[in-house]
Amino acid sequence: MMVALIVDVGLAILILFVAGWIVAVRSTFAAVIGFVVYGLLLSLVWVRLWAIDIALTEAAIGSGVTGALLLRTLSRLPVEHSERSANGSFRFIAGLFCAFISLAIAMVIVALPEPAPTLAPEASAGLPAVGVGNPVTAVLLSYRAFDTFLEKVVLVLALVGCWSLAADRDWGGTPVLWRYSDPDGVLKFLAQTLPPIGVLVAIYMLWTGADHPGGAFQASAMLAAMWMLTIVAGLMRMPRTNDDLLRLTLVSGASAFLLLGFAGFGIVGSFLAYPPDYAKALIVAVEIPMTIAVAATLVMLVAGPPQRRDMS
């Protein structure tokens, strides 16, 4: 379709322009804002590639939470005048190297095998046994459930790594998210009105992820955003890092997977296997603690290492 191709070309040109601008611009703050724009444009590309689940995840986590993380980091770094590496010839050689790599990958893209190998028939053939309608959810939570389990562990490991960077005297303290004064109460109003809607949308995305685009990660990013909003507005307190409930929540995602895995050993005979009649119920049952745990981990990752020993 001609019009669709024009839209695609325009979108590709826009993304390349924004990416080039991120590389070339002097101010780091502008580069971070450009990165948020880049993430949103990328999610439009995902829609054009008919990968709606990826579009939701990219907009929520890739652009939203990562953008919040980078902006918060900028506020904690000393303002530097960005010095270009003065060596022009080094940049020239690096540019040649990167151009060569781009060219090699472009040649691979053009020479991809036709007809394309695909796992879609096998994925769709196994769907009735799993009981869900969305094949991406089936891949994430049934066929490759082990990868998702390891991803939970990676998230917790990154958080432990972050926390270990605190000074010794601050261990167990409270991370500081933002210090913001809100004399008009505008932020407070938003933080009182938006989170109920956000939590509802998150539950909807989690529930409908079984049969339509959606799923646990998108829902957890939404929950994380709502929680961060209430903390920034001062309506809720950032928990201490040695708070038992927080630590329990953070590990509950991976633990639920482990429990399910070993139960699968006992009932069906192999790790993380689902008994066919209860597959969908078990998937939903493991998605709920997973979503809450990932949401908590996302917020604590943005908040960073604990800063204060006393209550904030």
Partner 1 sequence: MKTAMTLLLARDIFTIVAVTFGAFFFLAGTVGLIRFPDTLTRLHALTKADNLGLGLVALGLLPWADGILALKIVCVWVLVQFSSSTVSQLIARLAQQERPQA
Partner 2 sequence: MTSATLFGLCGAILIGLGLFELITDPHPLRKILGFNLLGGGVFLVLGVVARRGAAAGYLGDPVPQALVITGIVVAFSATALAVALVVRLSEVSGRVSLAYASSEQTDSDGAEG
Question: Which entry of partner 2, partner 1, none binds 197, CB below 5 to 8 A by partner kind?
Answer: partner 1
* Cα distance between residue 141 and residue 281, in whole Å: 12
Stretch that binds partner 2, among 7-15, 195-203, 248-256, 277-285 (CB under 8 A): 7-15
Using CB under 8 A, which residues numbered 150 to 209 contact partner 1? Answer: 182-184, 186-187, 189-190, 193-194, 197
Q: At what angle do helices 279-303 and 186-208 cross, to 10 degrees?
A: 150
Site string for partner 1, 83-102 (x = CB under 8 A): --------------------
Q: Which of 89, 118, 181, 270 touches partner 2 by CB under 8 A?
A: 118
Cβ contact 37:66 at 8 Å = no
Helical H runs in 28-144? 28-48, 52-57, 66-76, 88-110, 120-125, 127-130, 135-138
Burial label for 134, CB within 10 Å (0-12, 13-18, 19+), is buried
> 308: which strand partners?
174
Which positions ≥6 away from 11 have C-beta within 8 Å?
41, 44, 45, 48
231's tokens: 């903390």
Q: Which residue has the tokens 């919040």?
A: 68
Q: C-beta of 140: minimal distance to partner 2 in Å?
A: 5
Using rule CB under 8 A, residue 30 touches partner 2: no
Cβ contact 311:240 at 8 Å = yes
Using rule CB under 8 A, residue 242 touches partner 1: no
190's tokens: 């938003």
Using rule CB under 8 A, residue 62 touches partner 2: yes
Question: Which entry of partner 2, partner 1, none binds 187, CB below 5 to 8 A by partner kind?
Answer: partner 1
Q: C-beta of 184: minimal distance to partner 1 in Å?
A: 7
Using CB under 8 A, which residues numbered 68 to 87 contact partner 2? Answer: 69-70, 73-74, 76-78, 80, 82-85
DSSP 111: T
Nearer of residues 33 and 139 to partner 1, judged by Cβ? 33
Question: Which entry of partner 1, partner 2, none binds 89, CB below 5 to 8 A by partner kind?
Answer: none
Question: Which entry of partner 2, partner 1, none binds 129, CB below 5 to 8 A by partner kind?
Answer: none
Question: Which entry of partner 2, partner 1, none binds 5, CB below 5 to 8 A by partner kind?
Answer: partner 2
Question: Which entry of partner 2, partner 1, none binds 186, CB below 5 to 8 A by partner kind?
Answer: partner 1
* Cα distance between residue 250 and residue 62, in whole Å: 21
Binding site for partner 1 (CB under 8 A): 182-184, 186-187, 189-190, 193-194, 197
